[in-house]
Structure formats: C-alpha cells, structure tokens
C-alpha cells in the first residue's frame, strides 16, 4: 500500500502540480492529500462538475503552461471523458498530454471480478479494454505496489503522455493507499439528510413516484421505505451519477396526469446541470435537491459549487416555483405548495454532511427493482 502524501511528493517531483477531477472512493486518500496541500508549493486542486470538464481544464492548463496536468476520476466517469479524449486531447487532434488517475471499481483480479455494487460490474469489466480502445496507455497500481513501483509507473506514463502527445493513465485498485486520518466534520445547523428524506416521503405519500439519485440518497430512501414499510413507489438510480433528474423528467412525460418527484444531490446536479433547462419544462415534476455541499458518498470533498444557492440557479433555468429550506419543519409546507402548483417545482433542502455508519444497501438486482417499480406505478410490462 502507498502513503498518499509520499506518492503526491513523487507526482510533484515529476512536475505535476495541477489536479482536476471528480472525487472517488478508491482515490479518496490521495485526493485528501492533494486537498491538504493545495494552495502551497504551487499545487492547484479543482473539483469539477464532471470528468469531461476536468479534461478541458487539463487541456487549457497545458496550453498556458506547456506542462501536463493530472485528471482524477472513478472509472465510472470514463463515459464523460470519451468525447474530450477522442475529439480534443487525442494525438490525432490536438495531441494534449495529461496523466489520468483512475479509481477502478469492479476491478478484475486474475480474470475474476472483485465483488462490488451492481452499477460497477460492467464498467469494471471494460475499464482496461476501454482505455485500450481510446488509445490511452495505462498501468495498474494495487495494494501490493511499492512506492518505487508506483513512482516508476507514474514517470513512465507521464513520459508516454508527453512524447506520444496524448493522455496516459494510472489505474488504481481498491486499497492502494493507506487510510489518512480524517478531519472531523464541524457540526452543521442543518437537519440530517435521512430525516429530511423521511419528512419528504411523509408529505408525498403513496401516490407520488420518486426517482432517487445514486449514492447515499438512494440508500437512505431504501432503508426508510423498508424499515417503515412505506409503499411510496421509488426508483433507485444506483449508477449514472447526474442522470436521475432526466429519468424523473422522462417518467413525468410518460405520466402527465401524475406528479413525479426527483430526490437529487448537489454533486449529481452539478455533473449535468445543463439538464435543468429540460427538467424545468416538466409541469408535473417536483425536483428536490438535498444539498450538503460535499460529495458525501466518496469521501466528503467539497463540490464544485459548494458556495452556490441552487434555488436561484433553478429559477434562472426556468423552474416555475422554487424554494429553499433550511429547517426540517419547512419541508412539508414547501412540498405541499409544489404539489398544488400546475407547473414545475424545485426545492433546495439544506442538509448536514454525513450518514449513519450502519447504512445498508439495496439487496435486489437493479433489473428486479426496475420491474417492481413499473408494477407499482401501474406500467404494463410486455
């Protein structure tokens, strides 16, 4: 296993001082090390809304400095990188070197997949072949990699990027880094997210379908539904960060005589924020964003827009009714008003970071859960 601070020293010694990307569980300790050092020694950290944006930053940084930058991400974010990697950074287009640091969820060991959550299965299988197809040279780092091996791999991949005029990558297995001590989070005056979700459910009732974003919001919703034997039909979007709002908007389009709710997160919303221009046109959509200002499911790093007020943004994108609540008692009136309006509604609910350490995970396979949801809302399945 690697010491994240030592490995960061090695990356900086290679001239890597610009780090852009989206936080990831596998890379959480390395990102925390970068975060702790950012602002000093000429090191820059930018958490971006999505992985493609990070590649754009890396390209611009190279244009201005002549030095490659680092782009960090979870392998699930490779999809957001395909366009900038192929149409911008490729050696056949602008030939822009950068070093990608990729956390490998659903990794393969000796051809056998390590058990992980369902959404990481297929992506885990195709991660290395996908890099091959994209023409991205790469090396894998794991718990058995020494500092010397990892540093040599970083040096070799950076050289490949520079002389090949294209991105290269280091792919990190689970537990590649020793855990760093975590700073305790300051007390928040906002309610717990799980309590806020429970309050929202109690107002929406059993007749309003809910589409929930990936991560801890879906996990908390799942626990509440089963622990309290609630019958609210809920679709848990266990992958595809940032797409739950579009799924909810599509659902609202398919059942125009019924209100549909989306339980979203701030990090997920930022990832594909342009979709707000579409979801704002769904007159029967209630878009609730539980905003804790961090990427809670992958380490607690601040989001790209942690200082922004989302209700103002939603109004600018065209939502007819917007609200922002900071107290648990204000959630019910806000949702009741949204239920009564004939136009699209957006409610920003400020919540505290963190979740219960014993928070469970859904046991059903996603396909099974999909059919159960469709039956619950009365959709006939051919």
**Mean pLDDT score, 67-79:** 97
Domains of the chain: 4-172 (3.40.50.970), 193-376 (3.40.50.970)
CA distances for 311 relative to 261, 280, 316, 348, angstroms: 16, 12, 9, 6
pLDDT at 203: 94
pLDDT above 90: residue 84: yes
Burial of 287 (0-12, 13-18, 19+ CB in 10 A): buried
pLDDT above 70: residue 184: no
pLDDT above 70: residue 271: yes
pLDDT above 90: residue 181: no
User: 2 and 179 in contact (C-beta within 8 Å)?
Assistant: no
- Report percent pLDDT > 70 for the chain: 98
- Report percent pLDDT > 90 for the chain: 83
User: 173 and 107 in contact (C-beta within 8 Å)?
Assistant: yes
Neighbours of 165 (CB within 10 A): 16
CA-atom Rg of the chain in angstroms: 21
pLDDT at 16: 97
**Mean pLDDT score, 110-136:** 93
pLDDT at 28: 95
Place of tokens 């890396």: 58
pLDDT at 77: 95
pLDDT at 298: 82
Q: What is the pLDDT of residues 157-173, one digit of tens each?
A: 999 999 999 999 999 99
List the one residue out of 153, 136, 158, 156 whose CA is nearest residue 92: 136
pLDDT at 206: 87
pLDDT above 90: residue 382: no
On average, the pLDDT of the chain sits at: 94
Q: pTM score, two decimals?
A: 0.93
**Mean pLDDT score, 223-233:** 82
Q: What is the pLDDT of residues 286-337, one digit of tens each?
A: 999 999 999 988 878 889 888 899 999 999 999 999 999 999 999 999 999 9
Task: For the chain, give the number of residues.
Answer: 382
Give the separation between CA 115 and CA 126, rounded to whole angstroms.
Answer: 15
Give the separation between CA 102 and CA 126, rounded to whole angstroms.
Answer: 13
230 contacts: CB under 8 Å, gap ≥ 6: 201, 206, 224
For 337-365, give the DSSP string: HHHH-SS-EEEEEE-BS---TT-----S-
pLDDT at 42: 86
Q: What is the pLDDT of residues 39-59, one digit of tens each?
A: 887 899 999 999 999 999 999
Give the separation between CA 3 and CA 148, rounded to whole angstroms.
Answer: 12
106-115, 273-282, 355-364, range with greatest mean pLDDT: 273-282
User: 174 and 114 in contact (C-beta within 8 Å)?
Assistant: yes
- pLDDT confidence of 137, banded at 50, 70, 90? very high
DSSP single-letter state for residue 192: B
* 3-state SS assignment for residue 221: helix
**Mean pLDDT score, 191-211:** 94
- pLDDT confidence of 380, banded at 50, 70, 90? confident
For 29-97, give the DSSP string: HHHHHHHHHTTSTT-EEEE-SSHHHHHHHHHHHHHHHSS--EEEEEGGGHHHHHHHIIIIISTTTT---
pLDDT at 185: 67
User: 216 and 351 in contact (C-beta within 8 Å)?
Assistant: no
- pLDDT confidence of 188, banded at 50, 70, 90? confident
Neighbours of 315 (CB within 10 A): 15
Which two structure tokens, joined as six digits, stand for 144? Answer: 């058995």
List the one residue out of 148, 48, 153, 53 whose CA is nearest residue 99: 153
CA distances for 338 relative to 182, 241, 360, angstroms: 39, 25, 30
* 3-state SS assignment for residue 190: coil
pLDDT at 110: 87
User: 105 and 23 in contact (C-beta within 8 Å)?
Assistant: no
């Amino acid at each position: 296993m690697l010491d994240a601070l030592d490995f960061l020293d090695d990356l900086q010694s290679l001239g890597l001082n610009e780090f852009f990307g989206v936080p990831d569980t596998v890379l959480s300790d390395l990102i925390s090390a970068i975060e702790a050092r950012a602002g000093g020694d000429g090191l820059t950290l930018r958490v971006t809304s999505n992985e493609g944006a990070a590649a754009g930053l890396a390209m611009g940084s190279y244009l201005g400095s002549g030095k490659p930058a680092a782009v960090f991400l979870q392998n699930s974010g490779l999809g957001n990188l395909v366009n900038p990697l192929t149409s911008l950074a490729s050696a056949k287009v602008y030939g822009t070197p950068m070093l990608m640091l990729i956390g490998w969820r659903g990794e393969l060991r000796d051809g056998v997949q390590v058990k992980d959550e369902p959404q990481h299965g297929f992506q885990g299988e195709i991660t290395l072949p996908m890099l091959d197809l994209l023409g991205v040279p790469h090396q894998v780092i794991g718990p058995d990699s020494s500092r010397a091996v990892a540093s040599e791999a970083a040096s070799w991949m950076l050289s490949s990027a520079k002389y090949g005029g294209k991105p290269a990558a280091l792919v990190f297995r689970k537990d590649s880094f020793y855990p760093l001590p975590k700073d305790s989070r300051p007390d928040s005056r906002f309610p717990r997210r799980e309590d806020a979700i429970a309050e929202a459910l109690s107002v929406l009732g059993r007749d309003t379908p809910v589409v929930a974003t990936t991560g801890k919001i879906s996990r908390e919703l799942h626990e509440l539904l089963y622990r309290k034997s609630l019958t609210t039909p809920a679709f848990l979007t266990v992958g595809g960060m940032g797409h739950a709002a579009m799924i909810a908007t599509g659902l609202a389009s398919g059942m125009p005589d019924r209100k549909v709710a989306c339980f979203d997160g701030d990090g997920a919303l930022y990832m594909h924020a342009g979709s707000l221009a579409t979801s704002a046109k769904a007159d029967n959509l209630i878009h609730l964003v539980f905003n804790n200002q961090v990427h809670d499911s992958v380490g607690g790093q601040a989001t790209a827009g942690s200082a922004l007020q989302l209700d103002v943004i939603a109004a600018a994108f065209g939502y007819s009714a917007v609200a922002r609540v900071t107290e648990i008692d204000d959630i019910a009136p806000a949702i009741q008003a949204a239920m009564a309006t004939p136009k699209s509604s957006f409610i920003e609910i400020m919540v505290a970071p963190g979740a219960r350490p014993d928070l469970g995970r859904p046991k059903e396979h996603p396909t099974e859960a999909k059919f159960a949801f469709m039956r619950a809302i009365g959709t006939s399945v051919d």
